[in-house]
């Protein structure tokens, strides 16, 4: 009969097993999130969608889950800790949102009770084994001591080596081949965006897209990377995906003009003139930088949006005209801006009477609407007929009597007074318009393009 292995042999075997286990763990464990995007994804999986059954924030696409994901991206990019994000969400949505219940308060029982139960069971089992063994007392005290020593060494080695293995795995989790042991291999998203721009300059679209993707991994809430990733996607013909990137960019930063401009272009290419007009209006309200204005001019977005808007509006009017009995304006899907655009389009093709009739039809449902009244007055002012011009001024007077700061009323009446050679009156209206806190950009452009400012100041 062979003797038992010595304590040293057992210790070595245990050390080898633990070392192998630690290295295996290090190789298999994914480690901490490598990028901010990874971290957002991991965090989103840790929280329950507040209004969905059994779905995490990462899985759900309801508005509240989307908003939480976007806010998580902002927090992560700001460098907030997981604990901070967890605290914020629990403070707002209660502990039910957290898939990992906290270790304090009543909720801690979720963790404590199973451990207590397992510990209790283990204690009972040990007690039973010991009592059974004591009934069969063995005299080999030396052998027992060796076994006890071996057990102590094994436990110590397991603890030390396991701890070391965990530390190594954690520190090397994001290390690439050739990387340092510290695991710090990141470049900034700004550098990646710069690299993408350079690649784009050399015509390397795939390389640019890859660089923007990397930038978004590091900083998922980068409006610039989202915008240009969306723009390049649209140039590859995938308009729906491009729209998603651009919508995300606008959600992150509604005041980023490039995103608005590209979204308008994509909407145009999707055949949605109304959405394109909205984005262009938003772009105009942002005081865009010169390069964006140049891009706008080159791509003729304004002209294309106007043409699409007019076409949409005329199609809506033609559809109404084709009906045996035209419904009331309030019973249609048309809104006031669309009606005004349709009236402009009708007037533009020479149907002044039809344009006026269209706005009268709107006024039946919305009597006294200042925008519609101003639009009707403006049609008459531009008719070239002195009598209609005077009538148009009456409409504009009515608008401004009700609201002296109505921007359209002020600009249109300034034009009317200019035509009537009332330069002082035109100047007064224009100065009142200039004093407004918020001047619609299209009216600003109208004033400049038609030379009104130069005319009244001379």
Partner 1 sequence: MSEPDRRERGAGMSRGSRRRAVWIALPVATAVALLVLVLATRDSAFERKASSPILGALAPPVAGATITGEPFDLDDWRGRWVIVNFFQSTCVPCIVEHPELVAFDERHNAAGDARIVSVVFDDTVENVREFFAVHGGDWPVLATGAREAAVAYGVTGVPESYLVAPSGVVVWKQLGGVTADGIDDVIAQLTADP
Note the residues at the interface with partner 1 (CB under 8 A). Answer: 50-51, 63-64, 66-68, 70-71, 74, 88-94, 96, 106, 109-110, 113-114, 116-117, 119-121, 124-125, 127-128, 250-251, 254-255, 278-279, 281-282, 335-337, 371, 437-438
Q: Which letter does DSSP use for residue 40 in this model?
A: H
Round to whole Å and give the CA distance between 39 and 58.
11
Quick one: which of 322, 318, 314 has its CA closest to 344? 314
Are 437 and 407 in contact by the 8 Å Cβ rule? The answer is no
Q: Write out the two tokens for 415.
A: 């034009």
Closer by beta carbon to partner 1, 228 or else 283 = 283
Are 279 and 263 in contact by the 8 Å Cβ rule? The answer is yes
Quick one: which of 169, 128, 186, 122 has its CA closest to 27? 169
Least separation in angstroms between residue 128's CB and partner 1 is 6
Round to whole Å and give the CA distance between 454 and 46.
62
Closer by beta carbon to partner 1, 125 or else 454 = 125
Are 420 and 389 in contact by the 8 Å Cβ rule? The answer is yes
Closer by beta carbon to partner 1, 108 or else 236 = 108
Least separation in angstroms between residue 261's CB and partner 1 is 14
Give one word for 175, left, alpha or beta, with left for phi > 0 and alpha for psi -120 to 50. Answer: beta
Q: Which letter does DSSP use for residue 202 in this model?
A: T
Round to whole Å and give the CA distance between 220 and 142.
65
Least separation in angstroms between residue 195's CB and partner 1 is 30
Closer by beta carbon to partner 1, 309 or else 427 = 309
Least separation in angstroms between residue 100's CB and partner 1 is 17
Least separation in angstroms between residue 385's CB and partner 1 is 31
Are 396 and 409 in contact by the 8 Å Cβ rule? The answer is yes
Closer by beta carbon to partner 1, 75 or else 418 = 75
Least separation in angstroms between residue 71's CB and partner 1 is 5
Closer by beta carbon to partner 1, 51 or else 152 = 51
Least separation in angstroms between residue 113's CB and partner 1 is 4
Round to whole Å and give the CA distance between 6 and 10.
6
Least separation in angstroms between residue 68's CB and partner 1 is 6
Closer by beta carbon to partner 1, 21 or else 50 = 50
Quick one: which of 10, 11, 7, 98 has its CA closest to 50? 98
Q: Which sign, positive or negative, has the C-alpha torsion 107, 109, 115, 118? A: negative
Closer by beta carbon to partner 1, 354 or else 442 = 442
Torsion angle (degrees, nearest 10) of CA 100, 106, 110, 112: 120
Closer by beta carbon to partner 1, 232 or else 362 = 362
Query: What are the CA-CA distances from residue 54 to residues 45, 86, 134 (Å)?
Result: 12, 19, 52
Give one word for 435, left, alpha or beta, with left for phi > 0 and alpha for psi -120 to 50. Answer: alpha
Least separation in angstroms between residue 139's CB and partner 1 is 27
Are 379 and 392 in contact by the 8 Å Cβ rule? The answer is yes
Closer by beta carbon to partner 1, 36 or else 154 = 36
Integer distance in angstroms from the first to the last C-alpha of the chain? Answer: 120
Closer by beta carbon to partner 1, 95 or else 454 = 95
Least separation in angstroms between residue 327's CB and partner 1 is 18
Least separation in angstroms between residue 64's CB and partner 1 is 5
Round to whole Å and give the CA distance between 349 and 372.
20
Are 275 and 242 in contact by the 8 Å Cβ rule? The answer is no
Quick one: which of 262, 266, 184, 169 has its CA closest to 223? 262
């Amino acid at each position: 009969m062979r003797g038992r292995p010595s304590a040293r042999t057992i210790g070595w075997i245990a050390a080898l097993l633990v070392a192998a286990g630690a290295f295996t763990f290090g190789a298999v464990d994914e480690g901490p999130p490598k990028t901010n995007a990874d971290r957002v994804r991991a965090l989103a999986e840790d929280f329950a969608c507040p209004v969905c059954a059994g779905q995490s924030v990462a899985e759900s696409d309801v508005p509240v889950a989307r908003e939480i994901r976007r806010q998580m991206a902002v927090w992560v990019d700001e460098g907030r800790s997981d604990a901070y994000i967890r605290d914020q969400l629990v403070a707002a949505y209660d502990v039910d949102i957290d898939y990992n219940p906290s270790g304090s308060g009543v909720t801690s029982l979720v963790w404590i009770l199973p451990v207590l139960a397992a510990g209790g069971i283990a204690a009972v089992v040990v007690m039973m084994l010991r009592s059974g063994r004591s009934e069969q007392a063995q005299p080999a005290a030396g052998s027992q001591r060796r076994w006890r020593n071996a057990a102590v060494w094994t436990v110590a080695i397991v603890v030390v080596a396991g701890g070391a293995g965990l530390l190594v795995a954690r520190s090397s989790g994001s290390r690439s081949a050739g990387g340092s042991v510290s695991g710090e291999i990141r470049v900034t998203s700004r550098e990646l965006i710069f690299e993408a721009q350079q690649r784009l300059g050399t015509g390397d679209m795939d390389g640019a897209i890859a660089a923007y993707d990397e930038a978004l991994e590091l900083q998922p809430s980068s409006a610039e990377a989202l915008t240009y990733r969306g723009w390049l996607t649209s140039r590859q013909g995938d308009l729906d995906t491009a729209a998603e990137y651009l919508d995300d960019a606008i959600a992150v930063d509604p005041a980023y003009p490039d995103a608005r401009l590209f979204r308008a272009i994509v909407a145009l290419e999707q055949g949605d003139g109304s959405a394109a007009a909205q984005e262009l209006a938003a772009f105009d309200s942002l005081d865009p930088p010169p390069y964006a204005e140049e891009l706008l001019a080159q791509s003729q977005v304004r002209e294309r949006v106007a043409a699409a808007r007019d076409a949409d509006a005329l199609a809506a009017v033609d559809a109404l005209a084709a009906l045996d009995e035209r419904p009331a304006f309030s019973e249609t899907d048309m809104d006031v801006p669309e009606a005004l655009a349709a009236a402009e389009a009708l007037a533009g093709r020479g149907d002044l009477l039809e344009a006026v009739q269209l706005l009268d039809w709107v006024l039946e449902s919305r009597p006294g609407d200042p925008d519609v009244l101003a639009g009707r007055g403006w049609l008459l002012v531009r008719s070239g007929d002195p009598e209609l011009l005077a009538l148009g001024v009456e409409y504009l007077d009515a608008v401004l009597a009700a609201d002296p700061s109505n921007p359209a009323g002020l600009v249109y009446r300034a034009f009317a007074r200019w035509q009537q050679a009332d330069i002082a009156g035109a100047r007064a209206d224009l100065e009142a318009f200039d004093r407004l806190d918020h001047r619609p950009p299209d009216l600003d452009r109208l004033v400049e393009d038609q030379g009104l400012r130069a005319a009244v100041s001379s």
